[in-house]
Every structure is written in structure tokens, then in C-alpha cells.
């Protein structure tokens, strides 16, 4: 009987040892699997992040190249010849300044205050006023936001017919500043926009600029310029601002050959 009890005790001890060993092996295996899974997940995440970064870099480079390409297309080198020189043009109303009975406002029966001499002032090649002259210098044609068609359109305009469709590169408008006569109500335009057309009816904008005004009497004349690749027979400039808008010349340059 004592022998049998001893045998049972030994068997129980052996069984517990085997179970403990199995448990240790299982725990070790589980820990190993956990570490392996963690490493795999880390590698996967690293690979995804690397792929995303590579994609973003490639996309950024593509956008940069595209922007650079567009910039090269939009601003070609301009030739020296002014294609608008001597060309015919149409324009919106010039200011007709009435007398004191209409508070010096627009008066359709009054003479044009600052006329377009001979209807050639804006393409005759004369850009700058005579030194020391004022707003009566014949170089200027005077537009104004009080003109009825300005009120209708929201701008004054000049349209030049180049005679045929041409490849264009630069657009220039010569305008007056407050420096013509400080305090006289003259200012550089708030905005100058250039447009092109093949039929004179449907217009495509090629760019706009806000020239900087000055009251410096030594700077009565400045230019508003836009460089851009365009094509068309007609060029229109739209001028806006809450003042007298003095213009002396419009120039259009083709792409350099």
C-alpha cells in the first residue's frame, strides 16, 4: 500500500512537470509570434510611409515641372516691333465735362475734355507727355468712370485691330499718374486687363495688372505691362478706376523669331 501511494505521488509530480514545460513552451512560442508580428507590422508601415513619401515627392516634382513648363509657355520672349503702331482702333467714351450747371459732371452736349486727337493718339507712337506739361497735353486721351458706357461695362476700353491673327507675347498700356497734376482727380488705373480675340467678339483674357500710382510730378507717365503667350487679330485693353484715367498709347509685341 505504501509503495502504491509512492508510485502515485511520483506520477503526479511527473505529470505536473510535463504540463509546466508545455506551458513554458507555449508562452515562449506566443511571445516569439508576437515579436515576429510586431516586426512585420513595423516593416509594412515603414514600407507604406516610404511609398507615400516617394509618391508625394514624385507628384511635387511633376507639379513643379508643369508649373515651370506653363511659365515658359506663358511668358515667351517678345520681339522689338510694336504691332499696334499706326493701327486703327475703337474705344469707349471719353469724358465730356459739363459746366457748373451740372456740377461739372458728364454732359453729352459738352466737348470732350481731353480728346483723342485725330482718333490716332493711342497708336501714333507718342507715349510720353512734354516735360513740364499738365493734363492738357495732347498726348493724353481722358477716360473717366463717370462716362455712361463705363457705368454699363464697369470699365473703359480700347480695341486694336492688328489686321490678321498673330502670335503675341507682350502687351503695354501707357497711362498717367497723379503726378500729372496732384489733386486734379487723376490717378493711375486701379486695374488694366488685356484680352485677345480672333473675331472681335469673343474675348480671352491674357492677364491683368494694377499699376502703382504716384504723386511725384517727375513721374507723370508709367506703363502697365503683361507678358503672356497669346494669339489673335484683335487686342482689347480694359481700364478701371475711380478717377480720371489718362492714356497715351497702347502697344502690342509679337513673339521673337
- Alpha carbon distance 229, 63 (integer Å): 20
- Tens of pLDDT along 140-164? 999 999 999 999 999 999 999 999 9
Distance, CA of 222 to CA of 153 (rounded, Å): 25
Q: Which residue is associated with the grid cell 505521488?
A: 9
Average pLDDT rounded to a whole number, residues 234-247:
97
pTM greater than the 0.85 cutoff? no
Contacts of 112-115 with C-beta under 8 Å, sequence gap 24+, read: 112/142, 113/142, 114/140, 114/141, 114/142, 114/244, 114/246, 115/141, 115/142
Q: Is the dihedral of CA 202, 254, 141, 245 positive or negative?
A: positive
> Quick check: 80 and 151 in contact, CB under 8 A?
no
* DSSP letter for each residue of 229-250: EEEEEEEEEEEE-SSEEEEEEE
Give the whole-angstrom CA distance, residue 85 versus residue 134: 25
Judged against a pLDDT cut of 70, whether residue 229 lies above it is answered with: yes
Collapse the DSSP code of 144 into the 3-class scheme (helix H, G, I; strand E, B; otherwise coil) and give the result: strand
Q: Which residues of 187-222 are buried (b: 16+ CB within 10 A; e: fewer)?
A: bbbbebbbbbbeeeeebeebbebebebbeeeeebbb
pLDDT in tens, 161-177: 999 999 999 999 999 99
Give the model confidence (pLDDT) of 57-116 as tens digits.
Answer: 544 444 344 443 343 445 789 999 999 999 999 999 999 988 777 667 788 889 999 999
Q: Judge whether 122 and 141 are in contact, CB under 8 Å.
A: yes
For residue 204, is pLDDT > 60? yes
Residue 104 per-residue DSSP state: T
- The answer, yes or no, to whether residue 215 has pLDDT greater than 60, is yes
Place of cell 513740364: 132
- Residue where the block lists cell 470699365: 155
Query: Please, are residues 174 and 221 in contact by the beta-carbon 8 Å criterion?
Result: yes
Candidate from 21-30, 88-97, 109-118, 220-229 with smallest mean pLDDT: 21-30
Amino acid at each position: 500500500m505504501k509503495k502504491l501511494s509512492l508510485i502515485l505521488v511520483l506520477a503526479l509530480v511527473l505529470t505536473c512537470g510535463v504540463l509546466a514545460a508545455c506551458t513554458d513552451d507555449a508562452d515562449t512560442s506566443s511571445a516569439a509570434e508576437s515579436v515576429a508580428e510586431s516586426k512585420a507590422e513595423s516593416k509594412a508601415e515603414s514600407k507604406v510611409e516610404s511609398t507615400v513619401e516617394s509618391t508625394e515627392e514624385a507628384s511635387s516634382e511633376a507639379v513643379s515641372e508643369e508649373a515651370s513648363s506653363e511659365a515658359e509657355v506663358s511668358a515667351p520672349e517678345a520681339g522689338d516691333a510694336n504691332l499696334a503702331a499706326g493701327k486703327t482702333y475703337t474705344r469707349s467714351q471719353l469724358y465730356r465735362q459739363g459746366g457748373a450747371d451740372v456740377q461739372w459732371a458728364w454732359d453729352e452736349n459738352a466737348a470732350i475734355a481731353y480728346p483723342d486727337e485725330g482718333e490716332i493718339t493711342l497708336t501714333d507712337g507718342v507715349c510720353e507727355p512734354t516735360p513740364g506739361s499738365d493734363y492738357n497735353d495732347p498726348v493724353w486721351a481722358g477716360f473717366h468712370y463717370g462716362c455712361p458706357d463705363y457705368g454699363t461695362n464697369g470699365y473703359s476700353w480700347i480695341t486694336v485691330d492688328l489686321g490678321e491673327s498673330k502670335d503675341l507675347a507682350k502687351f503695354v498700356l501707357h497711362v498717367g499718374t497723379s503726378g500729372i497734376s496732384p489733386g486734379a482727380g487723376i490717378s493711375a488705373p486701379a486695374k488694366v486687363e488685356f484680352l485677345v480675340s480672333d473675331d472681335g467678339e469673343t474675348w480671352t483674357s491674357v492677364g491683368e495688372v494694377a499699376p502703382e500710382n504716384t504723386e511725384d510730378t517727375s513721374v507723370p507717365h508709367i506703363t502697365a505691362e503683361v507678358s503672356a503667350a497669346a494669339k489673335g487679330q484683335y487686342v482689347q485693353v480694359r481700364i478701371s478706376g475711380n478717377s480720371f484715367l489718362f492714356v497715351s498709347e497702347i502697344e502690342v509685341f509679337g513673339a521673337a523669331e
